[in-house]
A and B are shown apart, each in its own frame.
Chain A
């Protein structure tokens, strides 16, 4: 660990006289440092190291992404590259993928990675008994949905081992983004030889084997997961680190302090309020990068809610000053969003909600007349219930929205609840305006737009547009990239013209990275495999 490197704030900022004492104290408490073990502060505790039982949190990517390697993986810039597969062939109709596994791909216990390891991984993912949270992500695979639903006459699962090193995956229909899905941690292989022996206990530390660049050696819940370099990894020669320790740090200011004290080399999040201070005091360590993540408010379109009226939805959208929220409330770290799919998504051009390009006076005037048309005014004010999940930033944004709508005689009642309650209430439709957000599982516009499809469980506002659904379904069958892009963009324009939601901002990834660390590249997926990182020699 690199615990005795103290990260000092910029010269002249703090108690210089104390540095001498600090150095003495450091020497006193110094423990011998293992030269190249990286200490990462992750945002929480993973639910499991078993891809079929993970909880669906972003920090599971940090750990499982290092421990396992799927058929496809990510380079430092977050670009998709071949992983456990050296390459693949796609059938002419785009529905059959044949993957060729690397000859030198091995598990950390020395067993070869074989096609059956992937077959078993997908079987477990779609086994109802495992209740895998990510199984629906892979519904493009033939039979996946039917197996997950436990249907009696489910077709054979479209994942087969042709031989030890050849895997065939058959899809329901052409899915151009399918290879990108395979870089998701849920598509990692499992060591079938260990599962046959130990069942679900295969993830216990004395049993587990992994095929990624690192392999775990200990896990003390809420303390840390320690992993060492996997010598059996096919690219082990290029892995610079000896190991990685993952420390769950749920409290963001505690994470910052441990980073400043030198106990952590990377912290995967910091509070946006601290951005200015960090820029001034820890120059070079602050990494902000546009992320494929949005922050929006769902507008309830179920009968009986004022937001079921399109005019109301348009008026509310027009009156939101997104630049004020981005600059003043979020400290300028995020960018205002005028569409639902964030900028930077592959093969996609961001779309804008109609009317947002006008100046504010014109927008407010139009919003006023729209509400009047809809029957609201000073005598009959529009009353809304706005729900948000309890965080300081959510609260401030909710208060700001209420203030921005007030000149239109809108009375907004703010209701906050902890996450579990908030999303239950949203799913049950008990709101007019409800806070939501989405972080991309994979780099494709459909991962965002799918939320607004009529049958999506995440379509909190119950937006329903036949035109939108048709465009989405057409796009899902389209194999030509340009034609598909055009369909998806048209679908988003449809949803934005319907004012289906109120987009607020495009989120950014916020990382603290020791400037001495090499190989870190900010990327839109905010995925950073430790195999690409190295600590410079003086550490």
Chain B
């Protein structure tokens, strides 16, 4: 298993290299630059800015410089937020996104999995229709609709919770963004778990287990759920990587200082270093999460082994 892990990590290097290279050049192909805006700068000042950030050098040279710095773990300075380096921005924002996203995923698993299992066991019953109907609504209503409604109802009209702000991560400030972020995940997980459970419950080994006289509880909890979790697990890898890197919608609506906005704002501002920093960071996370999922597979399914 150790060898497998090392092998996978080594394989990740060329993948990341390709991602970084493509992102680097794609970013530069996009029209407009980091210093273009309503306040059109006199050419001499624009030239000064470009020189200060080495943007006046030929592109391949900039690429090599970037890669060289990256090898030293230096993501460079942000073009837009000049008092912070990209590393500082990510390190300041990531724990916040991780906290919100981690809690949201946890909540989604705690609610989504039992709902999916219940719906599968009580297939085509009122419970099933209710759960699946609600789940469909959860998937259909996007965050940017849900989050302002939450803020309005619970923050303004009922005044139970703050309508926004981070306040150092105080519990009342966490509730609305975490719930808003988890709704869609609850829905996805419940639907996926239901489908997977239904498939597993109809499979041969479950029939065998029942034929052997195991009681229904044991069949479901010892055999069916473990197997049914596999597709959910493969979904969770990238999903977790996506969620803990923040959501621009949730962050802007609730004023959360996470890193989600940097993906979008960075790109809109042509803040090249910030975009690259988030891309590299996200890429590494995806690789790691997928690896963890694959390793967990073997824990859940004895047929999967990584001996070689």
Residues of A close to B251: CB separation below 8 A? 222
| Per-residue interface assignment for chain B, residues 148 to 174, with 1 indicating a CB less than 8 Å from any chain A CB and 0 otherwise | 100110011111111111110010100
Residues of B close to A457: CB separation below 8 A? 40-43
Q: A47-B80, A219-B83, A420-B269 are in contact. Are A22 and B164 (CB under 8 A)?
A: no
Residues of B close to A18: CB separation below 8 A? 157-158
Q: Is B297 an interface residue (CB 8 A)?
A: no
Q: A49-B83, A418-B268 are in contact. Are A150 and B48 (CB under 8 A)?
A: yes
- Of B182-190, B204-212, B254-262, the segment with at least 4 beta carbons within 8 Å of chain A is B254-262
Q: A22-B159, A222-B261 are in contact. Are A424 and B36 (CB under 8 A)?
A: yes
Q: Is B92 an interface residue (CB 8 A)?
A: yes
Q: A126 to nearest B CB, angstroms?
A: 10
Q: Please tell me if the beta carbons of B254 and A254 are within 8 angstroms of each other in the complex.
A: yes
Interface centre among B48, B84, B148, B252, by most chain A C-beta atoms within 10 angstroms, is B48
User: Considering only CB atoms, which chain A residue lies closest to B258 in the complex?
Assistant: A222
Q: A298 to nearest B CB, angstroms?
A: 11
Query: Roughly how many angstroms separate A220 CA and B39 CA in the complex, as a whole number?
Result: 26
Q: Please tell me if the beta carbons of B162 and A148 are within 8 angstroms of each other in the complex.
A: no
Q: B143 to nearest A CB, angstroms?
A: 12
Query: Roughly how many angstroms separate A112 CA and B166 CA in the complex, as a whole number?
Result: 37
Query: Roughly how many angstroms separate A112 CA and B128 CA in the complex, as a whole number?
Result: 74
Q: Please tell me if the beta carbons of B158 and A149 are within 8 angstroms of each other in the complex.
A: no
Query: Roughly how many angstroms separate A130 CA and B44 CA in the complex, as a whole number?
Result: 12
Q: Is A31 an interface residue (CB 8 A)?
A: yes
Q: Is B51 an interface residue (CB 8 A)?
A: yes
Please report which residues of chain B, range 39-92, place their CB below 8 angstroms from some CB of chain A when the two chains form the complex: 39-45, 48-52, 80-84, 88-89, 92
Q: Please tell me if the beta carbons of A203 and B83 are within 8 angstroms of each other in the complex.
A: yes
**Interface residues on chain B, number (Cβ under 8 Å):** 60
Q: Is A327 an interface residue (CB 8 A)?
A: no
Task: For A254, give its contact among B44, B170, B253 (CB under 8 Å).
Answer: B253
Task: For B52, give its contact among A131, A148, A253, A257 (CB under 8 Å).
Answer: A131
Query: Roughly how many angstroms separate A366 CA and B42 CA in the complex, as a whole number?
Result: 39
Residues of A close to B254: CB separation below 8 A? 254
Task: For B160, give its contact among A29, A48, A417 (CB under 8 Å).
Answer: A29
Residues of A close to B172: CB separation below 8 A? 29
Task: For B31, give its contact among A129, A220, A262, A425 (CB under 8 Å).
Answer: A425
Q: Is A251 an interface residue (CB 8 A)?
A: yes
Residues of A close to B151: CB separation below 8 A? 254, 257-258, 261
Query: Roughly how many angstroms separate A47 CA and B271 CA in the complex, as a whole number?
Result: 12
Interface centre among B50, B92, B255, by most chain A C-beta atoms within 10 angstroms, is B255
Residues of B close to A14: CB separation below 8 A? 157
Query: Roughly how many angstroms separate A250 CA and B30 CA in the complex, as a whole number?
Result: 24
Q: Is B202 an interface residue (CB 8 A)?
A: no
Q: Please tell me if the beta carbons of A47 and B31 are within 8 angstroms of each other in the complex.
A: no
Task: For B159, give its contact among A6, A129, A423, A425 (CB under 8 Å).
Answer: A6
Residues of B close to A220: CB separation below 8 A? 92, 166, 257
Q: Is B33 an interface residue (CB 8 A)?
A: yes
Task: For A257, give its contact among B34, B42, B164 (CB under 8 Å).
Answer: B164
Q: Is B194 an interface residue (CB 8 A)?
A: no
Q: Please tell me if the beta carbons of A261 and B31 are within 8 angstroms of each other in the complex.
A: no
Residues of B close to A247: CB separation below 8 A? 165, 255
Query: Roughly how many angstroms separate A129 CA and B89 CA in the complex, as a whole number?
Result: 23
Q: Please tell me if the beta carbons of A31 and B257 are within 8 angstroms of each other in the complex.
A: no
Q: B32 to nearest A CB, angstroms?
A: 3
| Per-residue interface assignment for chain A, residues 119 to 143, with 1 indicating a CB less than 8 Å from any chain B CB and 0 otherwise | 0000000001111110110000000
Q: Is A260 an interface residue (CB 8 A)?
A: yes
Residues of B close to A135: CB separation below 8 A? 45
Query: Roughly how many angstroms separate A412 CA and B218 CA in the complex, as a whole number?
Result: 70
Query: Roughly how many angstroms separate A418 CA and B51 CA in the complex, as a whole number?
Result: 25
Q: A129-B48, A420-B270 are in contact. Are A22 and B158 (CB under 8 A)?
A: yes
Q: B29 to nearest A CB, angstroms?
A: 12
Q: Please tell me if the beta carbons of B157 and A25 are within 8 angstroms of each other in the complex.
A: no
Q: Is B37 an interface residue (CB 8 A)?
A: yes
Q: A295 to nearest B CB, angstroms?
A: 11
Q: Please tell me if the beta carbons of B161 and A29 are within 8 angstroms of each other in the complex.
A: yes
Task: For B92, give its contact among A55, A131, A221 (CB under 8 Å).
Answer: A221
Q: Report whether over half of chain B's contact residues are helix, strand or loop; otherwise say mixed.
A: loop
Q: Is B116 an interface residue (CB 8 A)?
A: no
Q: Is A26 an interface residue (CB 8 A)?
A: yes
Q: Please tell me if the beta carbons of A129 and B52 are within 8 angstroms of each other in the complex.
A: yes
Query: Roughly how many angstroms separate A253 CA and B155 CA in the complex, as a whole number?
Result: 13
Q: Is A189 an interface residue (CB 8 A)?
A: no
Task: For A261, give its contact among B50, B80, B159, B270 (CB under 8 Å).
Answer: B159
Q: Is B112 an interface residue (CB 8 A)?
A: no
Query: Roughly how many angstroms separate A417 CA and B172 CA in the complex, as a whole number?
Result: 39
Q: A268 to nearest B CB, angstroms?
A: 14
Q: Is A53 an interface residue (CB 8 A)?
A: yes
Q: A150 to nearest B CB, angstroms?
A: 7
Q: Please tell me if the beta carbons of A25 and B36 are within 8 angstroms of each other in the complex.
A: no
Q: Please tell me if the beta carbons of B164 and A131 are within 8 angstroms of each other in the complex.
A: no
Task: For B257, give its contact among A128, A129, A222, A262 (CB under 8 Å).
Answer: A222
Task: For A128, give its contact among B48, B152, B268 (CB under 8 Å).
Answer: B48
Please report which residues of chain A, range 398-438, place their CB below 8 angstroms from some CB of chain B when the two chains form the complex: 417-421, 423-427, 436-437
Task: For A258, give its contact among B34, B84, B165, B268 (CB under 8 Å).
Answer: B165
Query: Roughly how many angstroms separate A481 CA and B117 CA in the complex, as a whole number?
Result: 81
Please report which residues of chain A, range 432-466, place their CB below 8 angstroms from some CB of chain B when the two chains form the complex: 436-437, 457-458, 460
User: Considering only CB atoms, which chain A residue lies closest to B259 in the complex?
Assistant: A222
Query: Roughly how many angstroms separate A26 CA and B44 CA in the complex, as a whole number?
Result: 55
Query: Roughly how many angstroms separate A220 CA and B44 CA in the complex, as a whole number?
Result: 33
Task: For B165, give its contact among A3, A21, A48, A437 (CB under 8 Å).
Answer: A3
Q: A3-B165, A257-B152, A258-B163 are in contact. Are A133 and B93 (CB under 8 A)?
A: no
Q: A128-B51, A220-B92, A260-B163 are in contact. Are A148 and B31 (CB under 8 A)?
A: no
Please report which residues of chain B, range 82-124, place their CB below 8 angstroms from some CB of chain A when the two chains form the complex: 82-84, 88-89, 92-93
Q: Is A45 an interface residue (CB 8 A)?
A: yes
Q: Is A223 an interface residue (CB 8 A)?
A: yes
Q: Is B38 an interface residue (CB 8 A)?
A: yes
User: Considering only CB atoms, which chain B residue lies closest to A457 in the complex?
Assistant: B40
Q: Please tell me if the beta carbons of A21 and B158 are within 8 angstroms of each other in the complex.
A: yes
Query: Roughly how many angstroms separate A247 CA and B162 CA in the complex, as a whole number?
Result: 14
Q: Please tell me if the beta carbons of A420 and B157 are within 8 angstroms of each other in the complex.
A: no
Please report which residues of chain B, range 201-258, place their CB below 8 angstroms from some CB of chain A when the two chains form the complex: 251-258
Query: Roughly how many angstroms separate A436 CA and B40 CA in the complex, as a whole number?
Result: 11
Q: Please tell me if the beta carbons of A424 and B32 are within 8 angstroms of each other in the complex.
A: yes
Task: For B252, give its contact among A22, A148, A250 (CB under 8 Å).
Answer: A250
23 A-B pairs whose Cβ atoms sit less than 8 Å apart in the complex: A6-B156, A6-B159, A29-B162, A45-B81, A53-B82, A128-B51, A148-B45, A220-B92, A221-B84, A221-B93, A222-B257, A222-B261, A224-B166, A247-B255, A257-B163, A261-B155, A419-B37, A420-B32, A420-B34, A420-B37, A420-B268, A427-B40, A457-B43
| Sample of 6 further A-B pairs with CB below 8 A, known A22-B157, A257-B164 | A18-B158, A31-B167, A131-B49, A258-B155, A421-B30, A427-B36
The 6 closest A-B pairs by CB, nearest first: A420-B32, A131-B49, A223-B257, A261-B163, A22-B159, A131-B48
Interface residues of A (CB under 8 A from B): 3, 6, 14-15, 18, 21-22, 25-26, 29, 31, 45, 47-50, 53, 55-56, 128-133, 135-136, 148-150, 203-204, 219-224, 247-251, 253-254, 257-258, 260-263, 417-421, 423-427, 436-437, 457-458, 460
